[in-house]
Structure 1
Amino acid sequence: MKNTIRFTYFLAIAGLFGLITLPAQAEETGTDSHEDHQVSSAADTGAPLPESITALLDQGFKFHGTFDAPGDIQGYALSYNNEPMPAYVPSADDYAIVGTLIDPQGNAVMERQVQALVLGPMLEAAWSAFEDTRFIPEGPDNASHIVYTLTDPNCPYCNALWKSSRPLIEQGELQLRHVLVGVLSEDSLRKAAAILESNDPASALETHELNFRDGGIGPVVPSEESRALLTRHAQLMREAGATGTPTSYYRDEAGKVQRINGAVSTDRLRGILGVE
């Protein structure tokens, strides 16, 4: 079997290849000078995969489809731990280069093709899963924008996002739907259970966030139902490609699900959602 090359540094070949180990961010949009290159879903590809790509799959990568890259290069849309991870195989060889393709001007290309094959379907699946689970809504049901956010009771950045979202909620433009997780510690799990098992979870969450600096809500021993739900939410978090809290999900003007990593200011949140 031919060798697979795995790089952790920048590589340039004939001024065309480049590798930088930066994961694609769903909320980022940029100019892709190669939008016309075709993509094929995993179901559409009938040709056998190169041995280098097969070797990556054996190492835990997932294959989502192929796309045409500039020159004599074939692109392969892969993911690892639910993060898009494209690979490129020159037609003259079976060595795979994993990372970001850079054009001669230093611009990253092919990102939209990779997102179309990997990130888009993953985020849509996450949205559907969030809709079907138990979340805690804040804001009116007829709000013009819905945002799902993964919230850990002990996460200070979740508390910061909670505060920055107040103006939009009070304005009636936003319904923030908290999908509680308890991933930072056992205490997080117990506090999440306390919120879920209260008579009024939305009120309990508000009281907790208002008193976050003083420890918030008191932890409880989770019921079997709460523990099962929080275990499920931790799994959803992994499947949604979230690596920390808060991670939030919203639909853009085109109706596509996008992701926000971490806390953002009120002004930044307004800009992302397009709220005046």
Structure 2
Amino acid sequence: MRNRRTPLLASLLMLSPVALADDHWPAPVKALSEQGLTIHGEFEAPGGLTGYGASHSGGEVAIYLLPDGEHAIVGTLVDAAGEDLSAAALDEHVRAERFAEVWRELEDSHWIADGDPDAERILYTFTDPNCPYCRRFWQDTRPWVEAGEVQLRHIMVGILESDSPAKAASLLGAEDPAAALRAHSGPGEEIEAGPQPREIEERVYANNQLFDSLGFVATPTTLYRDGDRVERLQGVPEPEALKEAMGGPAP
């Protein structure tokens, strides 16, 4: 699959929301909550307004309570130059907690380390053993990985073919998973599906569940941090997108 860089927020907002207690909300904010918005944080806004960061299944939104406390406006606040004043508040009160949550999910998943453990940059990539584009992505990332600048963490899933789960389990359960993945992805021999302990099979199942819960549909799907944000790439990145994900030009 060729690359598509897609917003991650929509899928993150499907995760269990972390909401503010509603016992102190003004009536308009409480009404919006009852209509389906999740309220994440309150902030001081320009012009004497009180802002609230909120989300729904399709994205995030800012709510601005008017000084009378009886009316609210939902939308983007701009200044005299037309600059968006809502984005920073949404980053702090909605997006930050979602990005931190998904990164913890990735860290706690079952992955195979590819590259220097002390590498400054870490990327997580969902990898199916039967995915030719996953192999292409593995090959394209060699300059950064072999230079010790990037570590890829391959979250092994089994979604493409009937034997994908068994092959993923064989890679996770190998005596040296990194070497097995290297042989499978490079010019070596492809992994053969074989019986694995139930614990290993359950790790693949858990990875599949994580893949589905994040709303992903294709491999490779790769995630990386850009400051406080988590960015997503679907498929094999084009050269410029790959350079951005890797943190700079190929060494």
Relative to 1, partners in 2 of residues 1:157 and 1:123: Cα closer, same or farther, differing over 3 Å? farther
Alignment of 1:3-14 (within 5 A): none
Contact 2:62-2:86 within 8 A present in 1 as well: no
SS at match of 2:208: helix
Q: State the one-letter code of the partner of 2:224.
A: Y
Which segment drifts farther, 158-167 or 62-71?
A: 62-71
Are the aligned partners of 2:111 and 2:172 in contact in 1 as well (CA < 8 Å)?
no
Task: Name the CA shift for 1:272/1:194 in 2 (closer, same or farther; >3 Å).
Answer: closer
Identity %: 30
Q: Does 1:161 align with 2:137?
A: yes
Matched, 1:147 2:123: yes
Confirm or deny: 8 A CA contact 2:158 2:165 kept in the other structure: yes
Whichever residue aligns with residue 192 of structure 1, its letter is A
Runs (5+) with no aligned partner, structure 2: 1-5, 10-17
Cα distance, 1:232 vs. partner? 1.9
CA-to-partner distance for each residue in 1:132-176, whole Å, 9 max, x for gaps? Answer: 343211111222212122222233433332122111112221111
- 1:269, 1:109 → 2: CA distance? 31
Q: Measure the CA separation in 2 of the matches of 1:179 and 1:232.
A: 10
Aligned residue identity for 1:206: R
Matches within 5 A, 1:221-260: 221=195, 223-238=197-212, 242-252=216-226, 254=227, 256-260=228-232
Matched, 1:274 2:251: no
Residue 141 of structure 2: SS of its match in structure 1?
helix
TM-score (structure 1 length as normaliser): 0.64
Aligned match of 2:152 in 158, 172, 176? 176
Name the aligned partner's letter for residue 141 of structure 2: S
Superposed CA RMSD = 3.8
1:56 partner SS: coil
- SS of the residue 2:118 aligns to: coil
Deviation at 1:25, TM superposition (A): 4.5
Tell me which amino acid in the other structure corresponds to 1:51.
A
Mapping for residues 72-111 of structure 1, pairs under 5 Å: 75-80=52-57, 84-86=59-61, 88=63, 101=76, 110-111=86-87
1:73 to partner: Cα distance = 9.1
1:195 aligns with 2:171: yes
Per the alignment, in what secondary structure is the counterpart of residue 199 of structure 1? coil
Question: What secondary structure, in the 3-state scheme, does the structure 2 residue paired with 1:153 have?
Answer: coil
Tell me if structure 1 keeps the 8 A contact 2:126–2:155.
Answer: yes
- Quote the residue 1:12 is aligned against: none
**Counterpart residue identity of residue 125, structure 1:** E
What residue ranges of structure 1 are gaps of 5+ in the alignment?
A: 1-22, 27-40
Aligned pair count? 227
Equivalent residue letter for 2:25: A
Distance (whole Å) between structure 1 residues aligned to residue 217 and residue 130 of structure 2: 16
Q: 1:42 to 1:168 in 2, by over 3 A?
A: same
- Asked whether the 8 Å contact 2:7–2:231 carries over to 1, the reply is no
1:235-258 deviation per Cα after TM superposition (whole angstroms, max 9, x unaligned): 333555645433333333x4x252
| Distance in 1 of aligned mates of 2:88 and 2:216 | 20
Instruction: Tell me how far apart the structure 2 counterparts of residues 129 and 242 of structure 1 sit (CA, whole Å).
Output: 14
Once the 2 structures are TM-superposed, how far is the Cα of residue 196 of structure 1 from its aligned partner?
Answer: 1.3
Which residue does the alignment assign to 1:18?
none
Structure 1 window deviating more from structure 2 (220-229 vs 199-208): it is: 220-229
Q: Secondary structure at the match of 2:237?
A: coil
Q: Cα gap change, 1:201/1:117 in structure 2, threshold over 3 Å: closer, same or farther?
A: same
The amino acid across from 1:117 in the alignment is: H
> Match for 1:84: what amino acid?
G
**Contact conserved, 1:64 with 1:117, CA < 8 A, in 2?**
yes
